[in-house]
Structures are given as structure tokens and as C-alpha cells.
Structure 1
Amino acid sequence: MKTQTDQISTSEKSRVDELPARGSLHTDQFQSSDILTDSKVEVTETILNDHSPSTACSNSDQATAPEKPRIKIYKRRWYILALFSLMAGLQAGVWNQWGPIARTTERMYGWTDSDIALLANWGPIMFLPSCLAWSWLLDTKGLRPTCLLASALIALGTGFRCITQSQPTFTWLVHVGHILNGLAGPVGKGGVAKLSAVWFPRQERTTSTTIGFVVIGLGLGLTFLVGPLLVPEIETPQNNGTVSSLENVTISATEGWNTTEADAVIEQRRIISFYLYGTFGVCALLFIMMCVYFPNSPPHPPSVSASRARMDYVSGLKHLGRKRRFWQTAGAYGLSTGTRDVWGFAMLDVNLKAHGISQADAGWLGFYGFLAAAATGIIVGRFADRFQRRLRLILVLLDVLALLSFLWMILLILNIIPRTKEELYAANIVKSVVNGADSPLFFELVCEVSYPVAEGITNLSLTAFNNVASLIFLGLLSIRNIGTVWMNWFLIAAFSVSILLLVLLGEGKKRSDVDVEEIKSDEEN
């Protein structure tokens, strides 16, 4: 006697045998569903529970359809973003550590403006030969090994600077440290949009990318605050030249330096050592924390587009090379942000020094600017998440406002407009407000226009344009006796061309279209 289950199984088998005869499903199509083990189990369970042949047939048909990915959002995504952002912020802060205290270090170690420019230039110099390797590692091996290696390089680079302060060894160790830190730069700046795509849903991607860039900005801003506060300018007799080593302090003291001045130099060196040791300690601690927990990806994707396969590395690279919209977006990003980053961060003190603005005032200008950028960056990023299909328009408006604010600040710096400290601070804050969110929006826009190329190669290729522009800018500054006035008009020209490229950027299919189409399909069903 057959059991009820046997009867249902027999009924189901007979229905499946009839399918080819009806012409509704080919035999090879049905056999291909054998790999869907989970779907077959679900069909059997439904049959046994419902005892309905019609339900069984319906579920069998569904088993042959492509299975939708399971979408899940994890709370731990914010912790992962925090660790990554801290790593990126530290890398940026180490890159900019000497610029805000340029006047003191030039006198202490016998450096020049060209030496400060070279230290900053190691970032773009080391970016270019390592960019492709980092993008390959990020797209093929994932976030964890890439970020651990980058964090290790930052910690190692800051550690080298703590070995000794004896000249000329100290100067060489500082350069080695900046080379190692520069090698980690592509990950710090180019990896945040990749992390957003892997861990965050569509409606949070721009916000999370913006948070990463805000922390980078805060890392840069802290160097403008902490550097001049810890290492203030020192007054030395003008006829004694610069002090290049601890041994020279004793000699100089016998040639006109009084004991107080010699002690001040020794104290400054001690403070700089404390500054460097503290930086190394924070970088080493972060590396340990990332070793303990920093997974490659969540167990389930946060969006439909995150679950879709991307082009392989070589195909993606070739696709970017042929894509005109990528070149326009990358060119606009590189020209505007590459020159802006050098003008406003690494060389701000050098530029302002030539116009009688003190190191302390330059430091406060930089710090207040970053606070303003952090506050507005997150707001604009959240707004852009709600209007993802209007990223290009938002960027055009931001760049136009940035151009006007930079022009205002430059006219004040050059004293073409009568300058007061209050006006200079106001111009800098306005400039920082409108510049606070453009970088993350560029990264999200280039991911949109380059899809389905993987985010790693897309973002690091974009960052390469930023570093090429920075390299050219700093390379020109390394020419002795070139001055600093040209820096201001170079910046204005770069933003003007960037705006033109964005205005001419055409429309096309975007990454967000995949998520929007899926949402519409679910609503219709």
C-alpha cells in the first residue's frame, strides 16, 4: 500500500514527465536545475507540507529561474568603515605632517621649501608605480589583505622616523618613512568607495564614502592644529643661519647664541621626537586592531549590484581605457582636487609665508577649514544619496562655488583686496565648505559611469589622475626661485577646466540603475 508521500511523489514525477510533451520546458533545461540543491529541497518541503500537486508544479517551475541574492545589511559595517577611515586619515596626516611646521623644521634641520615639497611629493611619486598592483590586490584578494598591508606600511614608515634625530641620518629616515607611507596612499584614498560598495546598501553608499573622506580631512586638519601647537616657531639670530644638528647647537651657542636659545632648540627637538613617537604609536595600534578583526566582506551582499559579478581585472582595465566618460570624470577630478590638495594642504604654510601670514595663523586656517568641510561633507553626502542620478549636476554646482571661493581667498592673500584676518578666515571657511564633499561624489560618480568595472581598479585609476596633477604642481614648485604667486592662478585654471569637463559629460547607464530596476521589478511583482 502506498503512503501519502509516495502518492505525492508519483504525482509530481508524472507532472515533470509531461513537461517536455507540452513544449514548456526542454529536458536539458530541467536537468540544469539539479545544481540548485537548496531550491530542490525547498520544493520537496513545500510538497510535503501543502499536499498540493498544483503547488508542487509551481515550485518546480520556480526552481529553474535564477535565484535572487539574499540581501542583508549588517550593523558591523560602521565599525569596518571606522577602522578603514582611521587608516586613511592617518596616512593623509603623516603625508601632511611637515607642511604645517615647515618654518620651524626648515630652521631646525636646514631644510628648504624644496625639501618640504619633496616630502609631500613622495605621495604622488610612489602612487603611480604602485597603483595597478594595489588595484589588482583589492579586486582579486579583497579588502582584508589589502588594508592590512597598507596599514603595516604606514606603521613601518612612521617607525623609521623615530630611530634617531642625528643629521643627516634623520633626514634620510624621514624620506624613507614618507616613501613607505606614500606606497599606502592608493588604498587610503581609493579604497573607501570599494568598501562602500561591498558593505553598504545603495541608499548609504555616498554617505559612507563621504564619511571616509571626512576622516581623511580630519587627519589632515589635525596636523594643522597639533603641529603648530606642539612645534611653534622659534626666534633665532638672523646672522647665525640654520641649525642642522644637535652638534651645531653647541657651536652656535659659542658664536652668538645664548643658553636660552640653545635650550629652546634642544627642547624643540624633544617635542618633535614626542610628536613622531605619538604618531607611530597610534599607527601601530590601528594595525593591531585591523589584524584582530577586519573581514573581507559581509556574509551576504548589501545590494543587488554588490552581488553582481564585475569584469575581470584585465578586461576592466581595457574597458576603462576605451570609456570616454571615465576619462572626462577622471580628468575633472584630477585637475580640481590634485591642485587643490597641494595648494590647500601640503603647501599652504609655504604659500602664506611669502605673504606675511604666520605659521600659527596658517595652522588655524587649515584646521577651521577642515572642521567646516567635515560638517558640510556629511550633509551633502546624505543629500546626494537621495539624488544619486544627479551627482554630475551637484558636482558642477560645487566646483563653480569652489572656484569663486578660491578666487576670493587668492585675492585676499595677494592683497589685491585689502586683507584682514577676519576676511581671510571667512574666505577659507567658505572655500572649505564647498570643497567638503566633492571628492567622495567624484568617486561615486566614476563608479556609476564605469560599471560593471570593479570598484578597485576604477577608484585607484581615478586617484592616479589626482596624483599626476599633484606631481606636476609640486614638481614646478621644486624649481628654485620660482616663487609662489603662480600657484594661485594655476589653481583657478585647473578648476575652470574641471567644470568644463563635467558640463560636457554625457549620460549613460549607471550602477544605480541595476538597483533601481530591481526595486521596480519587486514592486510590480
Structure 2
Amino acid sequence: MTVTASRFKKKWWSWLRFRICRGSPVRVTRRWSLSNIIAKCLNCTMITRFTEVIFNVMYPSITAHTKDVKIYPTRFWILGVFSFLGWFQCLQWNLWGSMSESVEAAFPGWGSETVAMMANWGTLTFSAFVVPMVWFMNHRGLRHGVLLCSALVAGGTVVKIISFTSDSQTFFTVMCHIGAILNGIAGTLIMSAPPMIAALWFPPQERTTATAVSQVLNQLGSAGSYLQPLVVRAPSEGVTPEDIRKDIRRLLYTYAGIGTAVFVIVVVYFPSKPPTPPSLSSQVDRLSFKTSLKKILKNRDILLITAAYSMCIAVPSAWLTVLNYSLSDLGMGQTEAMWVGLSAVLIQGATGLLVGRFTDLVYGHVKLSLLVFMVTSLASFFWFYILTTGTVTVTTWQIFMSVWGGLAFNFGTAPMFFELAVEIAYPCPELVIAGLLTGTMNILGLCFYLLFFIPNVGYQWVIYVLLGSSSCSMFPLMLVREDYSRSSLDRNRTDHSNTIDGNDNHAFSLCSEQDVKRPDIVCSKDSTDIKYEV
């Protein structure tokens, strides 16, 4: 909108309000809407709320225009492309774990340590590169960050097929390690960017759902990897190691083609942000990267959430990539383990989507919901534990149900953790908060994978670590103080007007009640700007 058009709009609104309100000298602000004008003339708070609802439903375009916010269909393209990239990146991360028997038969030098190390590169590189990668995207914008991610994922798939130019198994192994490293670096932003995309492109009532979609699609990459045994044959009578190597070679060529295609799509069209923000909070200037880190390290509640999220998510997520080994102790082979892992990931995804949508519709009870989900997940993991100890007779349906319940309710906490952390840390950038959560989580996941390198350690210890981390994660969460500053701003939960000296002048706050009470934030009430001064 040009300056002339903006002035014309203000004059037009002033004239309209003068005619309706009979010359009431009210200052022009962007918070004025048709519902507020009518309700002001009637001077009734109940009618204010009622007319707001009616006009927001009947005339959403008018309401959005008067508040300088707009929702674009392009947001679904952005979410779809990024989510598919996240799905493919996770599939590459868990490339070898779901077909461990076939890999060990095709490449005799590979064992459980090599398979675990391929996944371990994801956590190693994440811990090393999360800070510079988050800084890069925060500084250069969403498009440059996603473009870099897609290039790294594509590069990780291409280097594997380069190894086919030689018959050397050592060369193939080295190229696979390099590919895992490149893919792991890309994972730093794949796992950190969902809250940023939701804040930049989606309205308040869709933010948590958008975050959940990105996280679920990323997690469903594990489901895709569990379908690989349908393409790569397991060692059996009549199946030679060379046959298995041909299957793996064909699969890697397919992945290289998909990775390159995704990179081209991102190059062609993937904007950083819409021309007009989708919400009031997205118009607020975020703190700088350096300032955000300082504030986060001084924020008790953010540190508690980080500890709770890391202990809750790290071990179950890492366990899923090596689930074959735990199930083998219960007498399950690779094919049966494939169906357990595949079905568990699918149920995880459905749970994450339902939780994200529920949080958007009924917000304000995230902490209680998290505790309920964490207790249910712990109970399911304990059920799996008593199966491994032989306390109860092992049956197939019990294995399925215990794994389903533990992983589904555990993953359902992820979008709620992200939402609560972003709300408490606001106006720190969503990307920085997500990077902190996922970075700490990956460090704990790295410690879990390193335990596999202990000689003759077996696999029974895994369930004890699973139970211990799930139990300890609830204690820091209980100490967290909830704060919904960002949502309060977007959902208009503040007092819309205050009478000053008996006049009809009204001041409209663009900051939430929680923000006003926070000593570290000064809210600027302005008709054209929304600022947080630290």
C-alpha cells in the first residue's frame, strides 16, 4: 500500500467513524474494525465480543485487511515441500537400520556398530552444526536455509552412488559415511525450522497444526525406511550376497533421483515469507540471535523445558532406529520387526497431528496435557520391559501394543513442547528456540548410540535407559511456569479499551497482559508499529 493509499484509508475510516459515532474524537488505529465501531456506539462489552465473532466469521477478509494481516494459500505449498524434504531426510537417516540383516550379509565388514554409526552421524553433526546453521537461516531467511538443506540432502544421496564406480567395499563404506554426515547437517534445520514456518506463514489457529505436520512427516521418514525390506531381500536360501547388493544399488539410485528433484523444486519456488504477515505476533520484530541466546540462558522455564523435552524424546527416537535389536531378543526377525516399526511410526504420526490440532483449538492447558501423555508413554514402555524380562508370556499383540503406546504418546508430546517453549520465550525467534530443543535432544541421542560401542554390552540395557529417561523427564516439566504471551496477543485476549478522564478516547494495546507483567519487556503501543524493547 502506498503512502497516498494509506492516508486515504485513514481519512475514509475517520469519516466513517465520525458518521457512525457522531463525531467522537477517537484516534485512528489499526485495531479498529467494523465490529469494534458498532460495539463502541452501543457501549456494551458483551456486544463487543458478540459482534467480533460475527464479523470475523462473516467477513474474514475485512477483518484481516483492517488488521493488516492476510492468509495466503501458498502456505500449503511451503508446508508441503518442506515436509516432504523432512520426510526424505529422515528416511536417509534411518536408511540402514531397518534392513540390518541384509546389510550385514551383503557387506561382511558391517555389524551393529556400523549400522548404529550411520544413524549416529545425524546426532554428531547436529550437535556440531546446529548453532551455525540456525544462525545462517535466522540471518539469511527461510528460503536460503531450506535451499541449503535440500542441497545437502541431495548431495548425501549422490555421493553414495558415486561409490558404484569402484568395486571396493571400503570405498562404498566411506561414501556412505560422508552421505550420512551431509544428511545429518541438513537435519539441523529440518528439525528446527517447523515453528519458524508456522509463525511466518500460518494464522494463530493453525500454527501448532503446521508445526505438527512438519514434525510428523519428518518422523514418517522412518516408516518409509521400514518399507525397504520389501525392495531389498533378506538373506535366505537362494539369495546370494550379490543379489542383495544389486537390490541396495537399485534403491540408492532411486533415492539420488528423488533428492535431486526436491532440490530443483526448492530452487524454482520457495519464498521466505508472505508479502503480508498472517498474524499480529508475526509482525513483531524478533530479538537478534546473540540477544536471544543471552535471554534463553537466563530464562529458568526455557531451560527446564529443554531438559524435559530432551530426556523425553531423545532415547525413544533413537531406539526406533535400532528397534530390530530389541525385538530380536523377543524372537522377532527382520520382517516382523519391520511391521512393528512401520505401524508404530504411522500411529505416531496420527497422534502428532491430532495433538497439534487439539492444541490449536483448545490452548492454555499444554503443561497438563504433556504430563498425561508422558505418564501414558511411560506405562507402555514398562509393559514392554516386563515382556523382555519374561514376567509375562510374550505374545505378538502385546509387543505391538506396548511399542505403539510408548512411541505414539511419546511423539505426541513434541508439538506441545515446541508450542510451550516458543510461547514462554517470545519474542525470541522460533528457530532459535527449536534449535536449542532439538540440539540438546540430539546430544542425549548421541550418548545413547555411543553405548552400543561398549564391548559385549548386549541389548537389555536399552529398556532400562528408556524407562529412566521417560521417568526423569517429568520432574523438570512440573516446575515450569506456563506463559502464553504470543497466543494472547493473536487471540485478542487483552482489554480492548480503557476510558481516560471520562472521555471517549481509547487506547488499544498490541501487547498481551502477560507481556505487560514481564519485567524484561517494554511494550510499545502504536497505531503502526508493534515492538518489543529489551
Which bracket does the TM-score occupy, shorter chain normalised? Answer: 0.7 to 0.9
Alpha-carbon distance between aligned partners in 1 of 2:233 and 2:172, rounded to the nearest angstrom? 20
Q: 1:207 maps to which residue?
A: 209
Alpha-carbon distance between aligned partners in 2 of 1:43 and 1:220, rounded to the nearest angstrom? 54
CA contact (8 A) 1:43 1:56 kept: no
| Number of residue pairs aligned between Structure 1 and Structure 2 | 462
Alpha-carbon distance between aligned partners in 1 of 2:200 and 2:142, rounded to the nearest angstrom? 9
- Given the superposition, is the C-alpha separation of residues 56 and 408 from structure 1 closer, same or farther in structure 2, using an over 3 Å criterion? same
Q: 1:178 maps to which residue?
A: 180
- Given the superposition, is the C-alpha separation of residues 272 and 70 from structure 1 closer, same or farther in structure 2, using an over 3 Å criterion? same
The CA deviation at 1:434 is 1.7
Show structure 1 runs of 5+ residues with no match: 1-34, 237-259
CA contact (8 A) 2:204 2:491 kept: no
Answering whether residue 261 of structure 2 is matched by residue 285 of structure 1, we say: yes
- Given the superposition, is the C-alpha separation of residues 50 and 210 from structure 1 closer, same or farther in structure 2, using an over 3 Å criterion? closer
Q: 2:58 maps to which residue?
A: none
The CA deviation at 1:312 is 0.9
Instruction: Report percent identity of matched pairs.
Output: 31
TM-score between the two structures when normalised by the length of structure 1: 0.82
CA contact (8 A) 1:47 1:56 kept: no
Alpha-carbon distance between aligned partners in 2 of 1:398 and 1:46, rounded to the nearest angstrom? 49
Within the candidate set 15, 18, 40, 2:7 is matched to: 40
More RCO (CA 8 Å, sep 6+): 1
Within the candidate set 264, 270, 274, 2:246 is matched to: 270
Q: 1:246 maps to which residue?
A: none
Within the candidate set 75, 93, 114, 1:77 is matched to: 75
Answering whether residue 129 of structure 2 is matched by residue 153 of structure 1, we say: no
CA contact (8 A) 1:101 1:227 kept: yes
Within the candidate set 95, 99, 103, 1:105 is matched to: 103
Provide, for residues 73-96 of structure 1, a one-character-per-residue CA deviation record: whole Å limited to 9, x for no partner. Answer: 112211110111111111111000
Q: 2:337 maps to which residue?
A: 362
Answering whether residue 38 of structure 2 is matched by residue 62 of structure 1, we say: no
Show structure 2 runs of 5+ residues with no match: 33-64, 499-505, 509-534
Matches within 5 A, 1:415-494: 415-494=390-469
TM-score between the two structures when normalised by the length of structure 2: 0.81
Within the candidate set 390, 398, 401, 2:365 is matched to: 390
Which amino acid counterpart does residue 224 of structure 2 have in structure 1?
A: L
- Given the superposition, is the C-alpha separation of residues 155 and 411 from structure 1 closer, same or farther in structure 2, using an over 3 Å criterion? same
Please, what is the CA RMSD of the aligned residues? Answer: 2.7
CA contact (8 A) 2:141 2:272 kept: yes
CA contact (8 A) 1:69 1:307 kept: no
Alpha-carbon distance between aligned partners in 1 of 2:484 and 2:348, rounded to the nearest angstrom? 31
Provide, for residues 435-478 of structure 1, a one-character-per-residue CA deviation record: whole Å limited to 9, x for no partner. Answer: 34211111111111111111111111110111011011011112
The CA deviation at 1:148 is 0.6
Alpha-carbon distance between aligned partners in 2 of 1:120 and 1:51, rounded to the nearest angstrom? 66
CA contact (8 A) 2:202 2:210 kept: yes
The CA deviation at 1:129 is 1.8
CA contact (8 A) 2:83 2:217 kept: yes
Q: 1:14 maps to which residue?
A: none
- Given the superposition, is the C-alpha separation of residues 81 and 64 from structure 1 closer, same or farther in structure 2, using an over 3 Å criterion? closer
The CA deviation at 1:58 is 4.9
- Given the superposition, is the C-alpha separation of residues 62 and 356 from structure 1 closer, same or farther in structure 2, using an over 3 Å criterion? same
Q: If each structure's helix is expressed as a fraction of its own residues, which one has the higher value?
A: 1
Matches within 5 A, 1:138-149: 138-149=137-148
The CA deviation at 1:519 is 6.8
- Given the superposition, is the C-alpha separation of residues 65 and 121 from structure 1 closer, same or farther in structure 2, using an over 3 Å criterion? closer
- Given the superposition, is the C-alpha separation of residues 131 and 49 from structure 1 closer, same or farther in structure 2, using an over 3 Å criterion? closer
Which amino acid counterpart does residue 192 of structure 2 have in structure 1?
A: G
CA contact (8 A) 1:117 1:478 kept: no
Which amino acid counterpart does residue 467 of structure 1 have in structure 2?
A: N
- Given the superposition, is the C-alpha separation of residues 398 and 349 from structure 1 closer, same or farther in structure 2, using an over 3 Å criterion? same
The CA deviation at 1:317 is 0.8
CA contact (8 A) 1:46 1:56 kept: no
The CA deviation at 1:299 is 1.0
- Given the superposition, is the C-alpha separation of residues 491 and 39 from structure 1 closer, same or farther in structure 2, using an over 3 Å criterion? same
The CA deviation at 1:152 is 0.6
Alpha-carbon distance between aligned partners in 2 of 1:443 and 1:58, rounded to the nearest angstrom? 44
